[in-house]
Amino acid sequence: MSKNTEYAARLPDEEGFIFYPDDEHDTWQQLYARQEGNLPGRACQQYMDGLQALGLPTDRIPQLKEVDKVLLDATGWKTAPVPALISFGKFFELLASRQFPVATFIRSKKEFDYLQEPDIFHEIFGHCPLLTNPAFGHFSEVYGKLGLAASKEERVFLARLYWFTVEFGLVQAKGEPLRIYGGGILSSPGETLYAMGDEPIRKPFELLDVLRTPYRIDIMQPIYYVIDKIDFLDEIASMDIMAAVKEAQRLGLHEPMFEPKAKAG
């Protein structure tokens, strides 16, 4: 998570208020309006319920205190303002204490369609609605605690679990339509449509399989893993995840389903 970024987070004042200029509120409004039309019939019901509960403003960037009030009442979670990028250690520490890191900047217009690093729209619109759900909140807390205790090498495998669930997870109950719960998809108009189309491969969630699957952050995902209900995240949290990590380390990674990223220069 620690790498160079052109973005700088906006800092809260002594009362916790974060000032954003009008053009940044305008970016939020445009992003929200575009996704608002994409999500019905594609996002899972738990996400839609959470979005309604949060009551996010459509015309301005919300203050974190507004979001916290709903999350604390629902599941005991709250947000934590952070710089554009934080260390894995800090990330796990926050999750373990039921605090969801929110980078307090919003993408520039030139990166309107795709941003490699998480901005406030990704964090608040993409993830916070599901933090009103107990199973999602519990899984996120357990994940943070595992990450805190894991070695640097183990954390690389744990990152794949987060990627294919919290960020890019799909859900489909038997006999029901496919739905999205991953915030990386829900905050991306392009990936929202792509993930529900015919091009990507979709496989049932198997922990060891997920831990061995490579991914790239700068492309549409060639593969998604599907759980059968949001409450299955509780079942994942009760699995011996670190034993599966050790087995994944022993077996090695699956062959990537994408071309290697071209090196600059």
**Residues, the chain, total?**
265
Amino acid making up residue 15: E
Q: How far apart are the first and last CA of the chain?
A: 23
Catalytic residue (one of 127, 140, 154, 191): 127
Catalytic residue (one of 141, 154, 167, 191): 167
127 is catalytic: yes
Catalytic residue (one of 24, 93, 117, 122): 122
Tokens of 56: 């996010």
Tokens of 124: 């608040």
Q: With contact defined as beta carbons under 8 Å apart, do 128 and 137 qualify?
A: no
3-state secondary structure of 161: helix
| CA distances for 141 relative to 21, 116, 138, angstroms | 34, 24, 5
CA atoms within 13 A on the CB side of 125: 27
Q: With contact defined as beta carbons under 8 Å apart, do 227 and 169 qualify?
A: yes
Q: Give the residue from 70, 148, 253 showing the smallest Cα distance to 140.
A: 148
The label of the residue with tokens 């059968």 reads 228
| DSSP letter assigned to residue 262 | P
167 is catalytic: yes
3-state secondary structure of 125: helix
By annotation, the residues acting in catalysis are 122, 127, 167, 187
